[in-house]
Chain A
Amino acid sequence: MNDVCIRMEGVSKHYPHFFLDSICLELREGEVLGFIGANGAGKSTTIRILMGLVRQDTGSVQVLGHPMPAEQIAAKLDIGFVSEDMRLYGAATLAWHMNFVASMYPRWDQAYADKLLRRFDLKPQQKIKGLSHGQRVKAALLLALARQPRLLILDEPTTGLDPVARREVLAELMSVLTDEGRTIFFSSHNTLEVEQISDHVAFIDRGRLIALDEKESLLERWRRVRLVVPPSTALPLLPGIVEVAGTERLPVLTTSQFDPDVVSLCQNRGVTVQAVDSMTLEEIFVANVQSRRELQPA
């Protein structure tokens, strides 16, 4: 079993118009966790608490074995952080930034940094203000990667990138993972990319963690079941039903606990199973959020 890289227990934070409520999550070394949530759901707050930039009101945070925010300096020596609202100094060049970061990180790998410059097609002598948004994101990522961090914390790293740039960034992030000691914690709106590269997924909505699971098991247990119900036949009570849509004769059930036995269960009751569709991570997220909001309207 790998070491625990991130552990949050009962972390809460009160703001005048927002409440981050008892976040509990754990991430082991070598794994990738994708964090999905709507705007304002609490992704950025959670990430800032992880980085020690915001002090939690209750609960404990341990990153790479260091309690946060108390030992944030020690932790940050092994962390590469890129945030969507982060900017570099426009008047300075990329080369200056590289020297600046290298001076504070003993494990800075210049050879790797040069390789990334070529791979991302960035010119070190260019001033940051002359770069496009995509180039700036890649520059920030270069600065984060070349310091050989054990943990990458990324707040929407690919938001605003064109599809080609996004592919390049994802490819680089994934190649970093061939080293088993590297861990990635990232938040994203792009559910496709979370679905693709995450080992674990966490859903957050309105300050609460509404799901935390292995990606493959989420994809395995959520299904959309299309039934044909003969008249005067009751809908069978299936486990984990989150939503019943469609019509009385042609209902569409969304379930979070699908089991192949469900099909025979329906057929024994005389209900035809027309189709059993898998759901994309996005559909699972939306179904999850909608059912929660119905139970607890704001």
Chain B
Amino acid sequence: MNRQRMNYAVVRHLILKDWYLNRGVILGSIPVGLGALAIVLTGKPVAFMLCIILLCIVIVGVGAQLAFVTTINERKEQTLAFVMSLPVSWREYTAAKILANLIIFLIPWLPLTVGALGLLLLPGATHGLVPFTAIMALEMLITTSLIVAAGIITESQAWTTAGIFFSSLGINLGGYVFAHLPGIAKYMWGKRVYWSSTAWIILICELLTVPLLLGVTFFVQSRKTDFL
């Protein structure tokens, strides 16, 4: 197959389209997330746990919903034929879906992550939780990428739902495992921010997983022969 150059203008339009169609859910999640963060400010220890749980639900929920709707619904609602009738090939379509999900997901994820980290850095808060929180936040980014990858590659409701299920499980398991790793547990409840080597390794692995997942997605898509 010839090396065709990607039509970036079209990719931009496709991303804007997905933003337009999903803006309600995304914009609605930000106040909910901020509200969850605000609960922590009440100072009660149980509030902290509640906040974490709520944040997880909001972010994972939004990420999963976005990934699901943008990838599965195109075929379910039969709009895929309409999109593919435009001057796009599988390249633009896949790139647009990946980028749309990443970028649009970052819209709630970034402020909420920064907000959570900011709260933790307030005087009197448990600064030691910063590395752990950062790791968990990236974990959610990975989860969303995984669901997006599953949605694009399998285009199957069943498989993608399974992906969502196992990802959520993965976050909980991951959180449990990370929290009990010696490199993390020792400094988690401390009063200062300490990035142990364990924490660094985990962070770097997470940061590499995202492009890896997305690269695999792109590669698998390039091998497909039927797009409708």
A residues near B, CB below 8 A?
A: 48, 51-55, 69-74, 76-77, 79-83, 85-92, 96, 100-101, 103-105, 140, 144
Q: A53-B227, A54-B227, A92-B21 are in contact. Are A70 and B81 (CB under 8 A)?
A: no
* A73 touches which of B4, B82, B226 (Cβ 8 Å): B4
Q: Specify which chain A residues have a CB less than 8 angstroms from the CB of B1 in the assembled complex.
A: 70
Closest 3 CB pairs of A and B: A81-B85, A86-B81, A55-B225
Residue of A nearest to B17 (CB): A100
Residue of B nearest to A97 (CB): B82
Contact between chains at A54 and B225 (CB < 8 Å): yes
Q: Specify which chain B residues have a CB less than 8 angstroms from the CB of A77 in the assembled complex.
A: 87
Q: List residues 201-227 of chain B with CB under 8 A from any CB of chain A.
A: 225-227
Closest Cβ–Cβ distance, residue B36 to chain A (whole Å): 27
Contact between chains at A53 and B87 (CB < 8 Å): no
B7 is an interface residue with CB less than 8 A from chain A: yes
Closest Cβ–Cβ distance, residue B89 to chain A (whole Å): 5
Q: A51-B85, A73-B89 are in contact. Are A87 and B77 (CB under 8 A)?
A: yes
Closest Cβ–Cβ distance, residue B19 to chain A (whole Å): 12
Contact between chains at B87 and A73 (CB < 8 Å): yes
Query: Chain A contact residues: over half helix, strand or loop, or mixed?
Result: loop
Q: Once the chains are docked, how many angstroms separate the CA of A141 from the CA of B78?
A: 16
Closest Cβ–Cβ distance, residue A184 to chain B (whole Å): 15
Q: Specify which chain B residues have a CB less than 8 angstroms from the CB of A89 in the assembled complex.
A: 21, 77, 79, 82
Q: Specify which chain B residues have a CB less than 8 angstroms from the CB of A87 in the assembled complex.
A: 77-79, 81-82
B86 is an interface residue with CB less than 8 A from chain A: yes
Contact between chains at B89 and A85 (CB < 8 Å): no
Closest Cβ–Cβ distance, residue A25 to chain B (whole Å): 20
* B13 touches which of A53, A72, A103 (Cβ 8 Å): A103
Contact between chains at A86 and B86 (CB < 8 Å): no
Q: Once the chains are docked, how many angstroms separate the CA of A104 from the CA of B8?
A: 11
B228 is an interface residue with CB less than 8 A from chain A: yes
Q: Once the chains are docked, how many angstroms separate the CA of A81 from the CA of B17?
A: 19
Contact between chains at A100 and B13 (CB < 8 Å): yes
Query: What range describes how many residues of B lie at the interface?
Result: 20 to 34
Q: A81-B85, A86-B85, A87-B79 are in contact. Are A73 and B7 (CB under 8 A)?
A: yes
* B228 touches which of A53, A96, A103 (Cβ 8 Å): A53
B84 is an interface residue with CB less than 8 A from chain A: yes
Residue of B nearest to A54 (CB): B226
B120 is an interface residue with CB less than 8 A from chain A: no
Q: Specify which chain A residues have a CB less than 8 angstroms from the CB of B85 in the assembled complex.
A: 51, 76, 79-83, 86, 144
Q: Once the chains are docked, how many angstroms separate the CA of A270 from the CA of B157?
A: 71
B2 is an interface residue with CB less than 8 A from chain A: yes
Contact between chains at A104 and B2 (CB < 8 Å): no
Q: Once the chains are docked, how many angstroms separate the CA of A144 from the CA of B86?
A: 10
Q: Once the chains are docked, how many angstroms separate the CA of A140 from the CA of B79?
A: 11
Contact between chains at B84 and A104 (CB < 8 Å): no
Q: Specify which chain B residues have a CB less than 8 angstroms from the CB of A74 in the assembled complex.
A: 87
* A85 touches which of B81, B88, B225 (Cβ 8 Å): B81
Q: Once the chains are docked, how many angstroms separate the CA of A51 from the CA of B227?
A: 10
Contact between chains at B77 and A90 (CB < 8 Å): yes
Contact between chains at B87 and A104 (CB < 8 Å): yes
B20 is an interface residue with CB less than 8 A from chain A: yes
B10 is an interface residue with CB less than 8 A from chain A: yes
Q: Once the chains are docked, how many angstroms separate the CA of A198 from the CA of B81?
A: 25
Q: A48-B228, A54-B225 are in contact. Are A72 and B89 (CB under 8 A)?
A: yes
Q: Once the chains are docked, how many angstroms separate the CA of A79 from the CA of B85?
A: 8
Closest Cβ–Cβ distance, residue B69 to chain A (whole Å): 11
Closest Cβ–Cβ distance, residue B173 to chain A (whole Å): 36
Contact between chains at B79 and A85 (CB < 8 Å): no
Q: List 24 A-B contacts (CB under 8 A).
A: A48-B228, A53-B227, A69-B89, A70-B2, A71-B4, A73-B4, A79-B85, A81-B81, A82-B85, A83-B81, A86-B78, A86-B79, A86-B82, A87-B79, A87-B82, A88-B82, A89-B79, A90-B77, A91-B21, A92-B21, A104-B9, A104-B13, A104-B87, A140-B82
